[in-house]
């Protein structure tokens, strides 16, 4: 099986690579008015920040959750800009000891914004130190060991912690409760992604037709990061082919060359579905067996391909293994055999793709049957 280099991010993966981070820095909006989408979170966050400015105090701690690529880091940068405050950036994996966190907190200035990405991956000792820092703006530094150890209280200036997480359920309740505002970012609609693409195209001085924006947005999995990445690949294709203006045929041809189909599925996604259907008659099949069938690591299949396939209602995760739904057979142009369709509950076919809880419930109940 192939090993995936962490820096080699698939074209439709929501995670970022060094090139993405460099381009995103130039394309990121600088204030809430320029931020596209997430209307509910923007409206609530705007109220929180405005109230803090009127009181002349640091904003409440903010927790941003949601899938990768939707703008959590961008919103953290905007919060610092809106509050006219300096920004300190770190991440949960970088804080493995309480002393690491104490060193960061003790160097903060009054009103500074501390952005803690992937906060759910922070070590437990550091997490417990963060409780007191967030609530009382104080930390206790332990000096010495054993019976002679002494706790020295260290006062901290008021600051704003902005935590970002893709796994809000992994955060302990005491930590979640200390955030004054929690915003959950949702996937973008095609219309919202078109606005994101128009803004990015303008900043990159690209000439793109309206139909091309719609074509790229429809293949972007509801994620702005993926939309901007696909836009850059379309730009490259047009540049090589000597095109000044990108029309819908050029956008479609470029994305087809990169094997991103009309629903946003790439080679890996289609390989997973094809293996499920042609080699295992639609499943159920275990993750490891499925990964071997497509020549990938189980972690790659589980973290890169599965989330979008489940969200689109094409793949189900059950106690007995993974299954391909009727939508998967249809997307690949195949007909589901009558015996396979009969083994699945009727209500599974009536569940909307966006209703993931209903889909998972139906799939789980099916997976627990003895047949």
Question: Is position 28 annotated in a ligand binding site?
Answer: yes
Catalytic residue among 42, 219, 221, 225: 225
Query: Sign of the C-alpha dihedral, residues 65, 68, 70, 75?
Result: positive
Mark whether 72 is an active-site residue: yes
For residues 27, 33, 37, 41, the Cα torsion angle rounded to the nearest 10 degrees is: 120
Catalytic residue among 20, 42, 88, 117: 117
Question: Is position 21 annotated in a ligand binding site?
Answer: no
Q: Pick from 291, 314, 313, 318: which is nearest to 302 by CA?
A: 291
Catalytic residue among 88, 160, 165, 166: 166
Catalytic residue among 73, 160, 300, 325: 73
Query: Sign of the C-alpha dihedral, residues 21, 188, 228, 332?
Result: positive
Catalytic residue among 42, 72, 221, 229: 72
Mark whether 311 is an active-site residue: no
Give 151's contacts (C-beta < 8 A, 6+ positions apart): 140, 141, 142, 143
Mark whether 60 is an active-site residue: no
Question: Is position 135 annotated in a ligand binding site?
Answer: yes
Question: Is position 72 annotated in a ligand binding site?
Answer: yes
Question: Is position 302 annotated in a ligand binding site?
Answer: no
3-state secondary structure string across 298-359:
HHHHHHHHHHHHHHCCCEEEECCEEEECHHHHHHCCCCCCHHHHHCCCHHHCCCCCCCHHHH
Mark whether 303 is an active-site residue: no
Question: Is position 136 annotated in a ligand binding site?
Answer: yes
Question: Is position 317 annotated in a ligand binding site?
Answer: yes
Instruction: For the sheet with 62-65, list strands across it.
Output: 87-91, 113-117, 160-165, 62-65, 181-184
**307 upstream amide cis, omega within 30 of 0:** no
Question: Is position 318 annotated in a ligand binding site?
Answer: no
Question: Is position 245 annotated in a ligand binding site?
Answer: no
Mark whether 198 is an active-site residue: no
Question: Is position 322 annotated in a ligand binding site?
Answer: yes
Question: Is position 109 annotated in a ligand binding site?
Answer: no
- Radius of gyration (Cα) for the chain, nearest Å? 24
The binding site consists of: 27-28, 69, 72-74, 135-137, 178, 188, 225, 317, 322
The binding site for ATP consists of: 27-28, 69, 72-74, 135-137, 178, 188, 225
The binding site for Mg(2+) consists of: 73
The binding site for DNA consists of: 317, 322
Q: Give catalytic residues, as residue numbers.
A: 72-73, 117, 166, 225
């Amino acid at each position: 099986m192939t090993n995936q280099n962490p820096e080699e991010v698939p074209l439709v993966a929501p995670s970022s690579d060094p090139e993405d981070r460099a381009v995103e820095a130039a394309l990121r909006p600088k204030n809430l008015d320029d931020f596209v989408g997430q209307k509910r979170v923007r409206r609530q966050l705007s109220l929180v920040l405005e109230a803090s400015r009127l009181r002349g105090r640091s904003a409440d701690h903010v927790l941003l959750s949601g899938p990768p690529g939707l703008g959590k880091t961008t919103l953290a940068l905007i919060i610092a800009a809106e509050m006219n405050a300096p920004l300190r950036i770190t991440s949960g994996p970088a804080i493995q000891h309480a002393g690491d966190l104490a060193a960061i907190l003790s160097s903060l200035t009054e009103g500074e914004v501390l952005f803690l990405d992937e906060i759910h991956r922070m070590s437990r000792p550091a997490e417990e130190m963060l409780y007191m820092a967030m609530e009382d703006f104080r930390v206790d530094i332990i000096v010495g060991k054993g019976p002679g150890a002494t706790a020295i209280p260290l006062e901290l200036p008021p600051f704003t912690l902005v935590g970002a997480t893709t796994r809000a359920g992994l955060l302990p309740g005491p930590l979640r409760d200390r955030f004054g505002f929690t915003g959950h970012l949702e996937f973008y609609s095609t219309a919202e992604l078109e606005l994101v693409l128009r803004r990015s195209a303008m900043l990159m001085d690209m000439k793109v037709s309206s139909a091309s924006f719609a074509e790229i947005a429809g293949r972007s999995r509801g994620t702005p990061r993926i939309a901007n990445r696909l836009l850059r690949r379309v730009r490259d294709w047009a540049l090589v082919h000597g095109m000044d203006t990108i029309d819908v045929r050029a956008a479609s041809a470029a994305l087809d060359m990169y094997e991103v189909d009309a629903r946003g599925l790439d080679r890996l996604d289609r390989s997973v579905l094809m293996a499920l259907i042609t080699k295992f008659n639609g499943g159920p099949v275990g993750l490891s067996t499925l990964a071997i069938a497509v020549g990938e690591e189980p972690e790659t299949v589980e973290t890169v391909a599965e989330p979008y396939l489940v969200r689109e209602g094409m793949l189900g995760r059950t106690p007995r293994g993974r299954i391909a739904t009727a939508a998967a057979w249809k997307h690949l142009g195949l007909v589901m055999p009558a015996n396979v369709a009969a083994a699945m509950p009727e209500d599974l076919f009536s569940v909307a793709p966006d209703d993931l809880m209903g889909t998972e419930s139906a799939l789980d109940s099916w997976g627990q049957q003895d047949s």
